[in-house]
C-alpha cells in the first residue's frame, strides 16, 4: 500500500511530459516480447534486488527477460554487453547505467531499429530515452542535508562523499547534500570515494585526523556508509561525528538501530524494477507512460528503521 501511494505521488510529481511508443501491431503478443536489461552490476545488492524485481514482473506478464548485467561496475563492459544484446534485436532495452554518458552510439542504433530504451535509477541525457524511473536523488540529498543540519546545529565541517565523478545519481546526491548544509552554515569538504568502501573509510579516517571540527560524514552508497559508520564507532567518535548513508541496506539499518549511523535514504528499488518493465510493455503496446518518474525518497532514522527491516 505504501509503495502504491509512493508511486502515485511520484507520477503526479513527474509532471505532464509523457512518452508513447509506436502503435502496436495488430498481432501484438506478449509471448513474442523480449525485454533486455542491463543494470549497474550483479555484485551490488541494491541493483540485484532491482534486477530480480524486474525479472519477476516480466515473468508475471509473460514476456521474455534477458539480463545482461555485468559482474563489475565497468562502463566499458556494460556498453559492450548492451551493444551485443542490441544486435539480437530485443523488443525494448532497459539500462541502469554505470556511466550515463557513453550510450550515444547505442541510442543511435536503437533509434534506427525502432527499439525503445528506458532508463532506471540513473538518467541518460538523450531525448530518445522513452522513460526514466528513479529516486529523486537530489531531493534525497537535500533531505539528508536537512537532517545533518538538524543533528549538528549547522556547526562544524561535513565530509560529503560522491561516487565516481560524472555518475549522475552520485553527483545529484552530493549536490543536494552540499547545497543544503552550506545554506545552514556547515563547512563543506567534498571528495569522491569511487563507490569503494575501503576508499570511503580511508578518506573518512584521514579527514577525522585532519579536521578537528568534523561533525558529519555523508557516504552516497550503502556498503560505504555501513563501513564508515563501523570505523567511526571503532574510533569512539560516534558522538561527535555523525554518519549518513544512502540505500538503507540491512547493514545500514542495523547501524542506525545501534546508533552508529544517524540516517539513510530508502530507495524503493522493487517498485522501480517492476514499474520500468510495465512501462516498457506499455510503450510496446503503443500506450503512453510518463517521461520521468521521480520516486520520493524516504528518510530512515532510528525512529522508523525497524519498519524497513
Partner 1 sequence: MQKQLREIAGPLLGLILIWIFIFALAPISRDWSSVENVLENSTGSGLFIMCCGMTIALIGNCLDLSVGSIYALASVVVGQLLKAGVPIPIAVLAGLGAGALCGIVNGTIVSRTGIPTLIATLGTQMAFRGVADMIGAGVDMEQFGKTFDWLGSGLQGPLFCSAIAFLTIWFILSKTRFGYQVFAQGGNEEVARLAGIPVKRNIVLIYMICGIMAALASIVYTARVDFAYVDRGQGWELLAIAGVVIGGTSMFGGIGGVGKTVLGVLIYESIFAGLIYLHYDAFWQQVATGVVLILAVWIDHTQRRASASRRTGVNIAKKRSLWSRVGIGS
Residues forming contacts to partner 1 in the complex (CB under 8 A) are 41-45, 48-49, 52, 71-73, 165, 189, 191-193, 196-199, 201-203, 205-210, 212, 223, 226-227, 230-231, 234, 249-251, 254
CB of 216 to partner 1, least distance (A): 16
Contact 40, 69 (CB under 8 A): yes
How many C-beta neighbours within 10 Å does residue 187 have?
15
Contact 246, 219 (CB under 8 A): yes
Q: What is the DSSP letter of 93?
A: E
Q: Kindly state the greatest CA–CA separation across the chain.
A: 69
Which one, 45 or 109, has the nearer CB to partner 1? 45
The single residue listed with the C-alpha cell 552516497 is 220
Buried b (16+ CB within 10 A) or exposed e, 154-184: eebbbbbbbbbeebbbbbbbbbbbbebbbee
Which one, 42 or 285, has the nearer CB to partner 1? 42
C-alpha cell at position 146: 536537512
Contact 37, 45 (CB under 8 A): no
The single residue listed with the C-alpha cell 551490488 is 44
CB of 304 to partner 1, least distance (A): 19
Which one, 202 or 288, has the nearer CB to partner 1? 202
Which one, 199 or 285, has the nearer CB to partner 1? 199
CB of 197 to partner 1, least distance (A): 7
Which one, 136 or 178, has the nearer CB to partner 1? 178
- Residue 279, Cβ density class (10 Å: 0-12 exposed, 13-18 middle, ≥19 buried): buried
CB of 240 to partner 1, least distance (A): 14
CB of 186 to partner 1, least distance (A): 16
Half-sphere exposure of residue 295: CA atoms within 13 angstroms, side-chain side: 27
Which one, 91 or 157, has the nearer CB to partner 1? 157
Cα 206 to chain centroid distance, Å, stands at: 27
CB of 289 to partner 1, least distance (A): 28
Neighbour order of strands in the sheet with 92-95: 64-67, 34-38, 92-95, 117-120, 131-135, 292-295
C-alpha cell at position 156: 562544524
CB of 82 to partner 1, least distance (A): 17
Which one, 238 or 282, has the nearer CB to partner 1? 238
Which one, 12 or 198, has the nearer CB to partner 1? 198
CB of 271 to partner 1, least distance (A): 17
Distance CA 56, CA 50 (A): 10
Amino acid at each position: 500500500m505504501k509503495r502504491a501511494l509512493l508511486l502515485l505521488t511520484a507520477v503526479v510529481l513527474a509532471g505532464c511530459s509523457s512518452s508513447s511508443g509506436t502503435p502496436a501491431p495488430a498481432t501484438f503478443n506478449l509471448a513474442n516480447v523480449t525485454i533486455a536489461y542491463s543494470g549497474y552490476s550483479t555484485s551490488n545488492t541494491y541493483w540485484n534486488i532491482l534486477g530480480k524485481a524486474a525479472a519477476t514482473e516480466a515473468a508475471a506478464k509473460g514476456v521474455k527477460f534477458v539480463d545482461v548485467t555485468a559482474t563489475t561496475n565497468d562502463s566499458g563492459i556494460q556498453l559492450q554487453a548492451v551493444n551485443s544484446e542490441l544486435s539480437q534485436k530485443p523488443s525494448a532495452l532497459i539500462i541502469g547505467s554505470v556511466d550515463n554518458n557513453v550510450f550515444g552510439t547505442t541510442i543511435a542504433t536503437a533509434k534506427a531499429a525502432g527499439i525503445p530504451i528506458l532508463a532506471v535509477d540513473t538518467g541518460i541525457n538523450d531525448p530518445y530515452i522513452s522513460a526514466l524511473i528513479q529516486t529523486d536523488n537530489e531531493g534525497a540529498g537535500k533531505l539528508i542535508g536537512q537532517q545533518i543540519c538538524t543533528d549538528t546545529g549547522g556547526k562544524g565541517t561535513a565530509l560529503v562523499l560522491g561516487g565516481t565523478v560524472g555518475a549522475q545519481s552520485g553527483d545529484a546526491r552530493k549536490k543536494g547534500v552540499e547545497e543544503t548544509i552550506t545554506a545552514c552554515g556547515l563547512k563543506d569538504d567534498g571528495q569522491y570515494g569511487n563507490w569503494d568502501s575501503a576508499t570511503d573509510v580511508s578518506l573518512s579516517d584521514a579527514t577525522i585526523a585532519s579536521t578537528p571540527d568534523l561533525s558529519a560524514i555523508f557516504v552516497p552508497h550503502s556498503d560505504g556508509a555501513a563501513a564508515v559508520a563501523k570505523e567511526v564507532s571503532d574510533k569512539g567518535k560516534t558522538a561527535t561525528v555523525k554518519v549518513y548513508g544512502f540505500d538503507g541496506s540491512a547493514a545500514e539499518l542495523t547501524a542506525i538501530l545501534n546508533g552508529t549511523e544517524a540516517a539513510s535514504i530508502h530507495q524503493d528499488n522493487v517498485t522501480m524494477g517492476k514499474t520500468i518493465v510495465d512501462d516498457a510493455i506499455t510503450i510496446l503496446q503503443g500506450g503512453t507512460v510518463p517521461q520521468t518518474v521521480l520516486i520520493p525518497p524516504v528518510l530512515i532514522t532510528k525512529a522508523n528503521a525497524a519498519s524497513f527491516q
